[in-house]
A and B are shown apart, each in its own frame.
Chain A
Amino acid sequence: MRSDREISRPSRRAVLAGAGLFSLGFHIPGLAPARAATPEAAAAVPEINAWVVVKPDETVVIRIARSEMGQGTLTGLAQLVAEELDCDWARVTTEYPSPGQNLARKRIWGDYSTGGSRGIRESHEYVRKGGAAARTTLVAAAAKGWGVPAGECRTERGVITHGPSGRKTTYGAVAAEAATIEPPKEVVLKDPKDWTLAGKPLKRLDTLPKLDGSQVYGIDLTLPGLLNAAIRDCPVTGGSVKSFDAAAVSGMPGVKRVLQLGDSAVVVVADTFWRAKTALDALPVVWDEGPNGKVSSETIAATLREGLDAGEAFVGNKSGDVAGALKGAAKVVEAVYGVPFQNHATMEPMNATALWTAERCEVWAPTQNGEAALAATAEASGLPATACEVHKIHLGGGFGRRGATHDWLRQAVQIAKEMPGTPVKLIWTREEDMIHGRYHPVTQCRLRAALDQDGNLTGLHMRISGQSILASVAPQRMVEGRDPVTFQGLNPGGPEAAIGYTIPNILIDHAMRNPHILPGFWRGVNLNPNAIYLECFMDELAHAAGQDPLAFRLKLMGNHPKHRAVLQAVADKIGWDSKPPEGVHRGLCQTMGFGSYVAGAAEVSVSEAGELKIHRIVAATDPGHAVNPQQIDAQVAGSFVYGLSAALYGACTVKDGRIEQTNFDSYPVMRMDAMPVVETILMPSGGFWGGVGEPTIAVAAPAVLNAVFAATGKRVRHLPLKDADLRRA
């Protein structure tokens, strides 16, 4: 049916779709050739190098290893390659080299992981070199044909010109020859100030198929003979299936199989998903809830409270003598903050499609990390990775849920393994997605600060108590039992996530307390709570010292010029020194994470009845180099939706060992009616590469919470805000 539609609309997209199995988003990736060693575009036309294929019709295919999930990395990475390639941007298209191909070619495309806002900042150099090397070989091919020195040739928008003679040729005309030329060992990259494509606010490459329903997401995939599966895992993590009555539903319409998966899940496979789900809903299951059936949000909170005072904790940042500073303080200020679990709630629920035989396993998946997906496929299928392949499908949102654990993908493979030779698509219902997340970790934080007689901050102890993501997701990345990610934004220095204040006596430590609810990397990760804790408390300290919150911070930021610059920028733009409109109140904050410096300022009002309205947000970002300003603007605005959804409404609570929220009715998120104006200040200072997909989320909540305090005098220390009473006392 879809192919009919494509044929009836012979657009540029449809032409591309016909050109290659791996072109992005314009077709259903079919059953790929079992031993494909190179992407499809390269099968027809030899590649210039791993990153670039130029077709005779001048189409430039740029290979993208990272996953596009809305954040714009596809377009940004293509801009970087195209910049060095000097090709015609209007002719650029993209494709994903598959993880299996990467394995076969000794990781020629490097890391596939798309998280931690790393897509561009960690691959910019090698993808630009790929573009530059391709340009060099294309020029060499033209020069060889003309019998002239390559140094006499120049390139512009896919055209090669021999200066002295004025002869011209095109990339497409010399591509086949270029493919035979040994690529240069060293290339010189352009100075960013000479960029003409990178750094520009170009339109995304992937917009059009998202406007007419033709973009294929994992959940949309169809294959010949495909069956659909619905799953219900034990609602209490750690529990198991005691019994289930397959006979009760096996005669229902469309049902093909009813089976138990592992210890803890039941599955119905049917001809359609709706029939699978309908039968699953009717399937009688008795659970053994296991050891966690009595756990609740209250018991978890009590465990975390104990950690706030525990004698032992992992140290993340320490200098001077905090105990001494507190003892000698003119004034000690103390507060305890806390954040709940959050679900990623991607718009597209978890899903994956798998086809298993005794010899080979193929998976089609919306994954943030193709390589990890391939490893998970191999593990779940019982086959070597070389006998597996993963086809990356466009993601309907990722936010960290689709990269680290691939629990949903493993399930799909395990189901397919029960039905050799039949492709099976597993779709989670929203309810399954809500109660089997990998949640933003739950933590609390006690902050104690010493102020001297002049209101100067002389000591700060931050004790974080709660869950470690790495302990669950990537224990191999722990450092002597410590989870370094816990201290995001609080590190004493470094290029990734350093604190922006110099405090003479400081101790930041973590009492790890891991409840059974599984954590994951949730967009913004630990920077989110850490910025709330530190930046709201800084506001408290300023008020305790009787000082302006901006001035109080700036005094501590002399050694942190980039942190200071973004904070000053939002203060200037929101008019910090001027009186806000009647009834409107302001708050501000700053942090650093994912290699970028960010600050936020908010204008809010709170009615007598306690209703909060966010009128205006100003956000500043210094990512070092900015590859696509209009996409950064979109990421910054979107970050406030994600961050404020959590801060205002979001909480996954636990009762009887299970997550209580099952859909958007009980887990509300921000909608357009609550969306404030967001004014973005992009201030790339050069010299480094920071991420933009995540850091701004961390300033959303503290900017608003500090403004809420200015409006009400009420300090909201436990989120979400909807649980707080903001009525005038």
Chain B
Amino acid sequence: MARLNVNGVVREVDAEADTPLLWVLREQVGLTGTKYGCGIAQCGACTVHIDGAAVRACSMPLSAVGPGQKIVTIEGLAPGADHPVQKAWAELDVPQCGFCQPGMIMASAALLAQNPRPSEEQIRAEITNICRCGTYNRVLAGIKLAAERGQSG
């Protein structure tokens, strides 16, 4: 049994130590907003925050996450889904199929937490998540909008 702090709740999970955090979240904790896309940290669909930093959970074994570390998933990003990134996404109708968007939103939120007014160049360099529907330009606009709102609000 391992102990995890997920979205502010401490949970006991029953999984082998080498199980990726992604599958612990999806299959033990029951939070399926964090997605499986590649399993090799290429696509970013599994992005969560660990102590505020964006982490690709598919390549993070359970054994590497300490009980004191704070894991935040898309379900726990903000009460009422009102994080500036989520609000910007809603305003710009960013998602198409939406499968990559939890990861895209978590990566974007972590970027803005670290750098509240990123340049376009920085956004393009930092957000490396894959979207096959091709929402990149709206993602870019969404991050810019969230950054503006974050600044004024």
Question: Does A396 have its Cβ within 8 Å of any Cβ on chain B?
Answer: yes
Q: Is A677's CB under 8 angstroms from B98's CB?
A: no
Complex interface: chain B residues within 8 A of A663 (CB): 38-40, 42
* CB atoms of B96 and A430 under 8 A apart: no
The CA of A110 and the CA of B101, in the complex, are separated in Å by 32
23 A–B contacts from the bound complex (CB under 8 Å): A207-B93, A209-B98, A210-B101, A211-B86, A213-B34, A217-B35, A219-B35, A220-B26, A272-B28, A274-B20, A347-B132, A348-B97, A348-B99, A397-B133, A399-B132, A430-B39, A637-B134, A637-B136, A663-B38, A669-B130, A672-B127, A673-B128, A677-B137
Complex: A228 Cα to B36 Cα, angstroms: 15
Which A residues touch B125, using CB under 8 A?
673
- Minimum CB distance partner of A202 in chain B: B93
Closest to B30 in A: A1
**A347 contacts B93, C-beta separation under 8 Å:** no
Q: Cβ of B140 < 8 Å from any Cβ of A?
A: yes
Q: Shortest beta-carbon distance, B23 to chain A, in Å?
A: 4
A630 to B135, CA, bound (A): 13
Q: Give me the 9 closest cross-chain CB pairs, A-B, nearest first.
A: A213-B33, A641-B134, A638-B134, A70-B97, A396-B99, A210-B98, A70-B96, A1-B30, A220-B32
Give per-residue flags for A448-481: 1 if the beta carbon is below 8 A from chain B beta carbons, else 0: 0000000000000000000000000000000000
- Min Cβ gap B134→A in Å is 3
- The answer to whether B74 and A212 have CB atoms under 8 Å apart is yes
CB B30 to nearest CB in A, in angstroms, measures 3
**Taking the complex as formed, is B3 at the interface, i.e. its CB lies under 8 A from any CB of chain A?**
no
Residue in A closest to B105 when the chains form the complex, CB atoms: A211
Task: Name the B residues within 8 Å of A399 (CB-CB).
Answer: 132
Q: Bound state CA distance, A347 and B43, in angstroms? A: 9
CA distance A427 to B129 in the complex (A): 22
- Kindly state whether residue A193 has any CB partner on chain B within 8 Å: no
B98 touches A215 (CB 8 A): yes
Residue among A207, A642, A645 facing the most chain B CB atoms (10 A cut-off)? A207
Scan residues 670-686 of chain A and give those whose CB is less than 8 A from a CB of chain B.
670-673, 675, 677-678
- Which of B37, B125, B128, B135 has the most chain A CB atoms inside 10 A of its CB? B37
Which of B35, B97, B137 is the most central at the interface, judged by chain A CB atoms within 10 Å of its CB? B97
Asked if residues A1 and B31 are in contact (CB atoms below 8 Å), the reply is yes
Q: Which residues of B contact A639 (CB under 8 A)?
A: 134
Q: A210-B95, A273-B27, A634-B93 are in contact. Are A669 and B132 (CB under 8 A)?
A: yes
Q: Is B128 in contact with A347, judged by CB distance below 8 angstroms?
A: no
Once the chains bind, are A212 and B86 in contact (CB under 8 Å)?
yes
On whether A348 and B40 interact (CB within 8 A), knowing A212-B75, A396-B97, the answer reads no
For the complex, is B90 an interface residue (Cβ under 8 Å from A)? yes
How long is the Cα–Cα vector from A272 to B35 in the complex, in angstroms? 15
- Knowing A396-B98, A677-B137 are in contact, say whether A212-B132 is a contact too (CB < 8 A): no
Interface assignment of B100: CB less than 8 Å from any CB of chain A: yes
Q: Return the contact of A675 from the options B40, B86, B102, B137 (Cβ within 8 A).
A: B137
Q: Is B10 an interface residue (CB 8 A)?
A: no
A70: chain B residues within 8 A (beta carbon): 95-98, 133
- Tell me the residues in window 209-253 of chain A with beta carbons closer than 8 Å to chain B beta carbons: 209-217, 219-220, 222, 228, 253
User: Distance in Å from the Cβ of B74 to the closest Cβ of chain A?
Assistant: 4
CB distance from B62 to the nearest CB of A (A): 10
Query: Which of the residues B38, B90, B124, B129 comes within 8 Å of A208, measured between beta carbons?
Result: B90
B140 touches A212 (CB 8 A): no
Q: In the complex, what's the smallest C-beta–C-beta distance from A19 to chain B, in angstroms?
A: 21
Q: Which residue of A lies closest to B88 (CB)?
A: A211
CA distance A217 to B33 in the complex (A): 9
- A5 at the B interface (CB under 8 A): yes
Q: What residue of chain B has the Cβ atom nearest to residue A669's Cβ?
A: B130
Specify the chain B residue showing the minimal Cβ separation from A25.
B98
Looking at chain B's contact residues, is the secondary structure mostly helix, strand, loop, or mixed?
Answer: loop
Is A318 at the interface (CB under 8 A from chain B)? no
Tell me, yes or no, whether A568 is within 8 Å of chain B by CB: no
Q: Is A720 an interface residue (CB 8 A)?
A: no
A549 within 8 A of B: no
List B residues at the A interface (Cβ < 8 Å). Answer: 15-16, 19-20, 23, 26-40, 42-43, 45, 73-75, 77, 80-81, 86, 89-90, 93-102, 105, 123-125, 127-140
Whether A214 and B134, one on each chain, are in contact in the complex, defined by CB atoms closer than 8 angstroms, is no
Contacts of B39 in A (CB 8 A): 429-430, 663
Give the distance to chain A from B2, nearest Cβ to Cβ, in Å. 14
CA distance A346 to B36 in the complex (A): 12
Interface assignment of A107: CB less than 8 Å from any CB of chain B = no
**Which residues on the A side are within 8 Å of B26 (C-beta)?**
220
A675 to B123, CA, bound (A): 12
Which residues does chain B contribute within 8 Å of A220, judged by CB atoms?
A: 26, 32
Residue in B73, B80, B99 whose beta carbon sits within 8 Å of that of A347 in the complex: B99
Contacts of B99 in A (CB 8 A): 217, 346-348, 396-397
Instruction: Determine if A273 and B140 form an interchain contact, defined as CB atoms under 8 angstroms apart.
Output: no
- CA A209 – CA B101 in complex, angstroms? 11
B137 touches A213 (CB 8 A): no
A69 adjacent to chain B (CB < 8 Å): yes
Set of chain B residues within 8 Å of A2, measured between Cβ atoms: 30, 32
Q: Indicate whether A213 sits within 8 Å of B102 (C-beta atoms), given known contacts A1-B31, A72-B96.
A: yes
A395 at the interface (CB under 8 A from B): yes
Tell me the bound Cα distance from A204 to B90 in angstroms. Answer: 9
Interface centre among A213, A273, A634, A671 (most CB of B within 10 A): A213
| B123→A212 contact, CB < 8 A | no
Question: Are A347 and B95 within 8 A (Cβ)?
Answer: no
Contacts of B128 in A (CB 8 A): 671-673
Which of A215, A274, A346, A665 lies in contact with B19, CB distance below 8 A?
Answer: A274
Q: Produce 1/0 per residue, A386-403, CB < 8 A to B.
A: 000000001111110000
Residue among B80, B81, B93 with max Cβ neighbours from chain A (10 Å): B93
Q: A349 to B100: give the CA distance in the assembly, Å.
A: 12
Is A345 part of the contact surface with B, judged by Cβ < 8 Å? yes
A211→B96 CA distance, assembly (Å): 11
Evaluate contact between B136 and A430: CB separation under 8 angstroms. Answer: no
Contact B134 A395 (CB under 8 A): no
Contacts of B93 in A (CB 8 A): 203-204, 207, 630-631, 634
Pick the contact of B132: A1, A278, A345, A637 (CB < 8 A). A345
How far, in Å, is A28 (CB) from chain B's closest CB? Answer: 9
